[in-house]
Amino acid sequence: MKSYRTETTLHIVGKAWQIQTLLRQWQKEYGPTATIASLTVPKKVQI
């Protein structure tokens, strides 16, 4: 399975069970209220 995330796009290629597993992993990482659209928003870096 492959996934590519840039600032404006999200591409996931794989079998359905692999994509579901990846989405569940992201949900645990970013919280249950996170949307797929919010994953493409660039994160602000503090220096």
In this prediction the pTM is: 0.65
Domain ranges of the chain: 2-39
Given this model, what pLDDT does residue 45 score? 57
Q: Report phi then psi at 39, rounded to 5.
A: -75, -20
Give per-10-residue mean pLDDT for the chain (47 aa). 80 92 89 81 62
CA-to-CA dists, residue 29 to 34, 36, 47, angstroms: 9, 13, 23
Given this model, what pLDDT does residue 37 score? 79
Given this model, what pLDDT does residue 35 score? 83
Q: Which residues contact 14 (CB under 8 A, 6 or more apart)?
A: 1, 2, 3, 22
Given this model, what pLDDT does residue 18 score? 93
Cβ atoms 12, 22 nearer than 8 A? yes
Given this model, what pLDDT does residue 14 score? 93
Given this model, what pLDDT does residue 34 score? 84
Query: What is the rounded distance in angstroms from the CA atom of residue 5 to the CA atom of residue 12?
Result: 9
